[in-house]
Structure 1
């Protein structure tokens, strides 16, 4: 296999589909739940439950899709899977982001289920290609950074929409849909034409190896636990952000600017996290980013109603860790997957990313259900004047999960030193497996 690093144009071409895919993050986790709950009158707890149930199917679908991505014959198996998922994904998005005025929980549930399944059909082979296009730890970190960096640009574009369409969530969802409808097919064509996909001649795994793989790989289990807890900590403030800014801070006009500040700081800090990963390894660099996010967000429960200036500073500081949260776990996943492949002489990259995908989505689904469920138990409603419960659930619960995730990342050994993202590191056949723990 050619081990020359990919050129900058090819890195950018690989990362380009990450931009429209990431534009969906804000609508699906920030704007869409509040829109269905408030504008369509479905209720906070009911919407949270419907979205959580729709995501539970990922427990089955993501490993199956990852397995299929390893099983599809070469050449271009990752690219074939991405193309196969495009059409059903875009159709489901049309219903989910542009619902009829009389849409009920059934429409939300079915459209969310089909949309999440289509998203997996596109993103899992896309991420798997990023683990193989450059077979070195540093190369995987560069590819993940290109994908997530351009993804942050997409999120930044989505964050600007509330400024263009103030107090109009339906227009925001519609604009995101048309942007994805145009950009995702075009960027996928650019990737198909530009980015090489190595032909890897290993035997695909049997789906029955999933449970033994989890049972015998302590490094994989630790990484999965850290990813779940960290995404859970990120998901709770994401789904409650609109409610917190509008009802607690009483600053609905600041939604767009706060989001731009948060994601903009994440983009600017991403090169620094890649540099730090080259010096300390991806594991340590990610641990530092989790600590920074936890420390900066720990101040949130102490804020009073209307303290917008202090919250702006918190958005800036916590946003600095965003790029690391997106790029470095993906690089670590690729390190584990390819090391396991070399040791077992099987092809499991797709299956690994399927498992990581379902864990990430379960965390976000659990965040939606937990956040809205806790609000419902506290007696909070959208028109309630009692916002103390909202402030504590939004600000305190993520810090608890960040503490545990940070301990797992910083203290637990996952990656053999030879697999950390170090400059100039090239693959070597005699390396031990990263799953040795």
Structure 2
């Protein structure tokens, strides 16, 4: 299979269907990511007898190892010439197999924990192979300055819109499966894994054949030390790292604990799929609005507004108790709408901070490293909660409420306070026609 290299760009940018072909891969990537980050802990705790503290350390270790590879992968991707198709297809095959393996451990207890650690490392590695190349592809769209900015924002809208559709699927189906008869869960997750693998290969084929051309290799990417020096000297990028990490922690922490909160604090385990689906549907509906707003006021200002909305929406979660279903649905809608800004704005903001000739893959490798570091740190919430006396299945835990609801709001406030990078120029006002 050859990569997309014969699609000429016009003066008005790539046609919408080429951007749609680019964005579709976001759907299967999200279908795999959400169950791994949200459902794995509850799955191995309830069905395979892995202790909560042991499970937390496995998640932390696997995610921490995963963070170390991302800058290296970004550097390798910057040097890819004709090998992007082989790189991405190999990543897709490994991800499909590892994702299926996660849900089929050969035993319970410690053996299951070890199996989970190995499968997670493989899945994370493969997901990085795809995701960093995918983000680099979108950042490399060509054209004039103003048109390039609009194309990047439109490509991000397609990518994150497809990703949100994948998150809706991944929130409803696995949650429904997990709420069913325990004996049938592994077989049902095997079917889900097959469907994911098929969608992944179809999306990869469309990306490689129909999307705008893969960016030309960057000659400056041949020396990784040069790339590090350029990143360190990019003040806007350096200033963006701390708020990005804090914001990622504010999102990953409640994602890790959501099912425990829904089951034990709200005592509404049967509605877990509905809650998650509502959250991601709200994000999908809000994404075109955030994109249009970013065209008018700038990407950075738009992201700040999204953060403020997330805090205002999620602050009330710490006050909820058993049976507070409707208020939690309202929180899911508000926080989900804010998620669209968290997903779409940072990659576009980073692309706007890159100068001509920059090695984009290395930059996005650092971005994904920070995102995975946030996920690794969120895994430590499980042993912390265990040390504070929380036990899965026991209602009324103050520690669970504070860690799930209050701490993320504090982290989001710190992210807003540290977001001081210069705002890029507002994008030209244009009718938004390329969102899904």
Quickly say closer, same or farther: Cα 1:401–1:413, change in 2 above 3 A: same
Asked whether the 8 Å contact 1:23–1:176 carries over to 2, the reply is no
1:435 matched residue in structure 2: none
Match of 1:351 among 339, 362, 369: 362
Residue 249 (structure 1) shift: 0.4
Q: Matched residues in 1 for 2:383 and 2:217: separation?
A: 48
Where do residues 27-426 of structure 1 align in structure 2 (5 Å cutoff)? 27-73=35-81, 75=82, 77-102=83-108, 103-135=111-143, 136-161=148-173, 162-163=175-176, 166-167=179-180, 168=182, 170=186, 173-198=189-214, 200=216, 202-205=218-221, 206-337=223-354, 339=355, 342=356, 345=357, 347-369=358-380, 371-409=381-419, 412-417=420-425, 420-423=426-429
1:222 deviates by 2.0
User: Structure 1 residue 303: deviation in Å?
Assistant: 1.9
How many angstroms does 1:216 deviate by? 2.2
User: Where does residue 427 of structure 1 map in the other structure?
Assistant: none
How much has 1:27 moved relative to structure 2? 0.7
The equivalent residue for 2:21 is 13
Q: Which runs of 5+ in 2 are unaligned?
A: 1-7, 431-436
| SS across alignment from 1:321 | helix
Q: Tell me if the contact between 2:78 and 2:359 (Cα under 8 Å) persists in the aligned partners.
A: yes
Alpha-carbon distance change, 199 to 373 in structure 1, aligned in 2, over 3 angstroms: closer
Most deviating of 209-218 and 180-189: 209-218
Q: Does 239-248 or 206-215 show the bigger shift?
A: 206-215
Describe the shift of the 1:68–1:201 C-alpha distance in structure 2 as closer, same or farther (beyond 3 A). closer
- Flag the 1:238–1:202 CA change in 2: closer, same or farther, 3 A: closer
Q: Distance in 2 between matches of 1:325 and 1:306?
A: 29
Pairwise CA distance, 1:210: 4.8
Question: Once the 2 structures are TM-superposed, how far is the Cα of residue 323 of structure 1 from its aligned partner?
Answer: 1.3
Which stretch of the first structure deviates more once superposed, 25-34 or 263-272? 25-34
Instruction: For residues 151-175 of structure 1, give each alpha carbon's deviation from its aligned partner in whole angstroms, at most 9, with x where no partner exists.
Output: 1001111122133663355456434
The residue that corresponds to 2:5 in the other structure is none
Stretches of structure 1 that go unaligned for 5 or more consecutive residues are 425-437
Q: Is the 8 A contact 2:220 2:226 kept in 1?
A: no
Tell me which stretches of 4 or more aligned residues in structure 1 moved more than 6 Å. Answer: none
Deviates more, 1:31-40 or 1:102-111: 102-111
| DSSP 3-state at the match of 1:5 | coil
TM-score computed with the length of structure 2 as normaliser:
0.89
**How far 1:18 sits from its partner (Å)?**
0.7
Aligned residue for 1:274, secondary structure, equals helix
Give me the whole-angstrom Cα distance separating, in 2, the residues matched to 1:26 and 1:122.
Answer: 16
Judged with a 3 Å threshold, the aligned counterparts in structure 2 of structure 1 residues 268 and 172 are, in CA distance, closer, same or farther, namely farther
Q: Residues 219-253 of structure 1: CA distance to partner in whole angstroms, max 9, x if unpaired?
A: 11221212111110011111111111111101111
1:423 deviation in Å?
Answer: 4.1
CA distance in 2, matches of 1:379, 1:220: 41
Work out whether residues 124 and 357 of structure 1, in 8 Å CA contact, stay in contact via their aligned partners in 2: yes
Per the alignment, residue 3 of structure 2 pairs with none
- Report how many aligned residue pairs link the two structures: 411
Report the secondary structure of 2:377's partner residue: helix
| TM-score of the pair, normalised by structure 1 | 0.89
